[in-house]
Amino acid sequence: DAGVTQSPTHLIKTRGQHVTLRCSPISGHKSVSWYQQVLGQGPQFIFQYYEKEERGRGNFPDRFSARQFPNYSSELNVNALLLGDSALYLCASSSGTAKMGSNQPQHFGDGTRLSIL
Amino acid sequence: DAKTTQPNSMESNEEEPVHLPCNHSTISGTDYIHWYRQLPSQGPEYVIHGLTSNVNNRMASLAIAEDRKSSTLILHRATLRDAAVYYCILRDLAGGTSYGKLTFGQGTILTVHP
C-alpha cells in the first residue's frame, strides 16, 4: 500500500509569493495533519483536519491556511512568504475517529522542502 | 501538553543494545507515551507507544517506570539504519483540541558506529 505522498518534493519561491503544498493520505485515513520543521528543530504542528473540518490549529499566523477535500487529500497554503517560512513541510495521516485519534499513530510523508529567496 | 526531556545525543556500536531515556515528570494519567524517529531526509516514523505496561513490537521495546515519570526506548541490536533522531512524545488520550497534534521536542540524535 502506498504511504503518505507529498508534492512537490522541493520548491523555491521568493518573498511575497504564495505557495500550495499537496498531500495524499494513506488510503482509508480520514485525518491529515501538517507540520513545519525548521532545520535543526523538531516538527511544529500547524493544522489538523478530520472529515474535511479543521480540528486543531497551531501557533501560526493567518497567512497559513489549509483545506481537506472529499477524497481526504489536503492542501496547505501559505501567502506572503517570508524568509522564515523556509522549512520542511510535513504531512501526516492517521486512522480512527476523533475520540480514538489521539492514540492512533501518525504516518508521515517525506515532506516538501520549501526555500524562500 | 506535558513536557518531555531527552539527552541531546547518544552513541552506540552496531549490534549492541541501545537504551534511550525520556523524562516526563508532569505526565498526567491520560497521557500515552509515544516514540517516533526521523531518519535523515525522511519524515518521522512511528516506533511504539504505551500507557503503563511495558510494550514490545518488531522495532523496539518500551519500558515505563512504575510512577510513569520516565520511560526508556530499547533497541535490542542497533544497526546502522537505526541512526536517527528519536522523539519521545506525550499524547493525551482524551484528545479534544489536541487531537491531531504531536508536540515534538529536540529529540535525541542517535549515532551508530560500525
Cβ contact (<8 Å) for B98 and A56? Answer: yes
Assign A26 a pLDDT band (cuts: 50, 70, 90): very high
Q: Which three cell numbers stand for residue B12?
A: 552506540
Name the helix (H) or strand (E) containing B21.
strand B18-23
Q: Report the alpha-carbon distance of residue B10 to residue B2 in Å, rounded.
A: 23
Residues 6+ apart with CB under 8 A from B28: B2, B92
Closest chain A residue to B48, measured at CA: A105
Taking CB atoms and an 8 Å limit, are B93 and A103 in contact across chains? yes
pLDDT at residue A51, rounded to an integer:
87
A98 interfaces chain B, CB cutoff of 8 Å: yes
Residue B75's Cβ-side half-sphere holds a number of Cα atoms within 13 Å equal to: 26
The overall average pLDDT reported for chain B is 92
Contact criterion met (CB < 8 Å) for B49 and A50:
no
Instruction: Determine the residue among A106, A107, A110, A112 to mutate to test chain B binding: the one whose Cβ has the most chain B Cβ atoms within 10 Å.
Output: A106
Q: Is the pLDDT of residue B1 over 70?
A: no
The type of residue at A22 is R
What are the pLDDT digits (tens) for B73-114? 999 999 999 999 999 999 876 655 556 688 999 999 999 999
Query: What is the least distance, in Å, from the CA of B21 to any CA of chain A?
Result: 17
What type of residue is A91? C
Region A19-40: mean pLDDT is 95
Q: Return d(Cα A19, Cα A97) in angstroms, integer.
A: 30
Q: pLDDT of A79-97, one tens digit each?
A: 999 999 999 999 999 986 6
- For B54-73, what is the mean pLDDT? 96
Residues A87 and B64: their CA atoms lie apart, in Å, by 34
Contact flag A56-B100 (C-beta cutoff 8 Å): yes
Residue A31's Cα: distance from chain center in Å?
11
Amino acid B23: pLDDT: 97
CB-CB under 8 Å, B99 with A109: no
What is the pLDDT confidence band of residue A55, given thresholds at 50, 70 and 90? confident
How many other CB atoms are found less than 10 A from the CB of residue A106? 29
